[in-house]
Structure 1
């Protein structure tokens, strides 16, 4: 299992998730995006539908039906009804599903920084968990530690 920690500073979660979702979908993967905040899930949905003038990333909400057909599913719980192997946690609150995801993208900002640090330390004690830390540098994501 791999966990990528993304510290948001300049851009909101919606912008970072559009990039992450584009890469996952471009490689044929399915993504589950989790946030307890309905407003944030709606902003993420809008960002995915308007990634660029010529493109969009199809997505839907858990509970709306046809979840199994959604390449990107937005939910408040880590239950991959779309068969996702990739999880993005958008609200900075760590949670796990019953079955581990191949890769988790954990986005956090200043308000959830201490929780992210605690999560990093907790994951270091687990066998078989690879974790990476990313931060923004001049508009680009760079691996830090």
Structure 2
């Protein structure tokens, strides 16, 4: 299982998340996006409708009758009703339940860096977990730093 830590410094979540989600879906995968806060989930829902004028990323908020059919599902807890094998934790909070997926994307900013560091260290001792740390360079591109 792979855990990608994305340290949001220059690029905000609303630009980084759609790129990751689009790549997962384009590759035939499904994604569960998790945020504890209802306001943030509503914001992610709006974002995925409007992030690009020339594309559409099919998605829904968890709790609907068609959850199982959604390529991207936005939820308040780790429950992949859409059968996702990829999870994006977008509120900066690490959840060990993410280790049940094939790949986890953990997004965090400066306010949540302490929790991200603790998760990074804790995952070092886990068998079968490959960690990657991504940061943005001066041009705003993602570089693997660890």
Using the size of structure 2 for normalisation, the TM-score is 0.94
The count of residues paired between Structure 1 and Structure 2 equals 145
Deviates more, 1:42-51 or 1:110-119: 42-51
Note the 1:93-132 alignment, pairs <5 A.
93-97=93-97, 100-132=100-132
Q: Partner of 2:32: helix, strand, or coil?
A: strand
Q: 1:30, 1:43 → 2: CA distance?
A: 20
Which whole-Å deviations, capped at 9, do the CAs of 1:120-143 have from their partners, x for residues lacking one?
Answer: 000000011000000112221111
Gap runs ≥5 in structure 2: none
Q: Partner of 1:53: helix, strand, or coil?
A: coil
Note the 1:33-112 alignment, pairs <5 A.
33-97=33-97, 100-112=100-112
Deviates more, 1:16-25 or 1:43-52: 43-52
Q: How far did 1:98 drift? A: 8.0
- In structure 1, the partner of 2:142 is 141
In the alignment, does 2:27 pair up with 1:27?
Answer: yes
Using the size of structure 1 for normalisation, the TM-score is 0.95
Alpha carbons 1:31, 1:87 under 8 Å: kept: yes
Deviates more, 1:40-49 or 1:90-99: 90-99
Q: How far did 1:63 drift? A: 1.1
Which whole-Å deviations, capped at 9, do the CAs of 1:84-132 have from their partners, x for residues lacking one?
Answer: 0000000011113387100000000111100000000000000110000
Q: 1:143 to 1:63 in 2, by over 3 A?
A: same
Gap runs ≥5 in structure 1: none
RMSD: 1.3
